[in-house]
Amino acid sequence: MQGALAGALALPMLAQAQSADPHRWQLNMTRGVTPTANAAYDAHMFVLWACVAIGIIVFGVMAYAMFTFRKSKGAVPAQFTHNTTAEVIWTVVPVLILIALAFPATSGLMRMYDTSESEMSVKVTGYQWVWKYEYMGQDVEFTSRLDRKSDEVRQSGVDARTANLPHYLLDVDNPLVLPVGTKVRFVITADDVIHSWWVPALGWKQDAIPGIVNEAWAKIETPGIYRGQCAELCGKDHGFMPIVVKAVSKAEFKSWLAAEQAKRTPAPAVEAAPAAAPVEPAPAAVEPAAVSTAPKTEQTPADAAAAG
Ligand SMILES: [Cu+2]
């Protein structure tokens, strides 16, 4: 209880430590690592500066009028009740400004929702309180949960700041590995209550709702580790289901995927990767037949290499 409380209290502080790495007391939004995230950032900055300019103009004119036409200088209030020209101006100008602001926002949103021509799909399922990732059509799936060290610290009741964990509550056991320069489509759902999958560097947040499949996509430009969290209050451990995306080169992703497939496919798992134990035990029924075929497939590349 005490540990959970300490963890909950530490959250606002640590939420700032996430990627693409904002710093403490940072006030503005960060640039992301995808074209849509950067479009969102640009739209945000455009609107911000438009608001700053409008604020300076409006308050500037107001301050000038108050100072120049003050009562002590003998100013007399104007005596008019209606001015069609002024009304047309203060209606048309804001409408034009709103259209100018809506344009980048709408075009950005339309691009965000366009998942066509994606090169691979990942299914994300939220559970209390883990994420499950399935690389669709690749036979690779795993769960991703809070790393054990963070969990131990949060349950121990000690002050998290003394634990010397740079990514306290933001690390997971199995990160979602993705290739850079690839349009990845996400299909997002949940299996118990509503969650929300959010990695700020990707520039979007998508609700994970039981019985509904939401879509999103990302084309990550820069390799790196990008952190996020569940963004929909989903129960007592909502604060303890972080997200880690590891973006790697296409070649690196290919070999990672092959290694995962080998690990998780019952056939080569026994022979091919004895050092890396599978996270989930392979189904026993498939094993005997699989073992007998494994040496053959193993020897072929080795023999070829020896011959060459
Ligand atoms: Cu949650």
> How far is the centre of ligand 1, averaged over its atoms, from the C-alpha of 205 (Å)?
12
Q: Class for domain 2-18+115-256, per CATH?
A: mainly beta
pTM as predicted: 0.71
Q: Return the domain boundaries, the chain.
A: 2-18+115-256, 35-112
CA distance 184 to 153: 34
pLDDT tens for the chain, 308 residues: list them.
344 444 443 433 333 333 456 677 888 888 899 999 999 999 999 999 999 999 999 999 999 999 999 989 888 888 878 889 999 999 999 999 999 989 888 998 999 999 999 999 999 999 999 999 999 999 999 999 999 988 888 888 888 788 788 888 889 999 999 999 999 999 999 999 999 999 999 999 999 999 999 999 999 999 999 999 999 999 999 999 999 999 999 999 999 999 999 987 665 444 544 444 444 544 444 444 444 444 444 444 444 444 43
> How far is the centre of ligand 1, averaged over its atoms, from the C-alpha of 175 (Å)?
17
Nearest to 152 by CA among 162, 163, 142, 161: 163
Residue at token pair 């036979």? 139
CATH code for residues 35-112: 1.10.287.90
Exposure string of 2-22, with b = 16+ CB inside 10 Å and e = fewer, is ebeebbeebbeebeebbbbeb
> How far is the centre of ligand 1, averaged over its atoms, from the C-alpha of 130 (Å)?
9
Cβ-Cβ contacts under 8 Å for 196 (sequence gap 6 or more): 126, 205, 206, 207, 208, 230, 231, 232
> How far is the centre of ligand 1, averaged over its atoms, from the C-alpha of 307 (Å)?
55
> How far is the centre of ligand 1, averaged over its atoms, from the C-alpha of 261 (Å)?
29
> How far is the centre of ligand 1, averaged over its atoms, from the C-alpha of 294 (Å)?
42
> How far is the centre of ligand 1, averaged over its atoms, from the C-alpha of 39 (Å)?
27
State which amino acid sits at residue 49: W
Cβ distance 187 to 218 under 8 Å? no
Residues with CB under 5 A from ligand 1 (ion): 195, 230, 234, 238
> How far is the centre of ligand 1, averaged over its atoms, from the C-alpha of 102 (Å)?
31
> How far is the centre of ligand 1, averaged over its atoms, from the C-alpha of 200 (Å)?
15
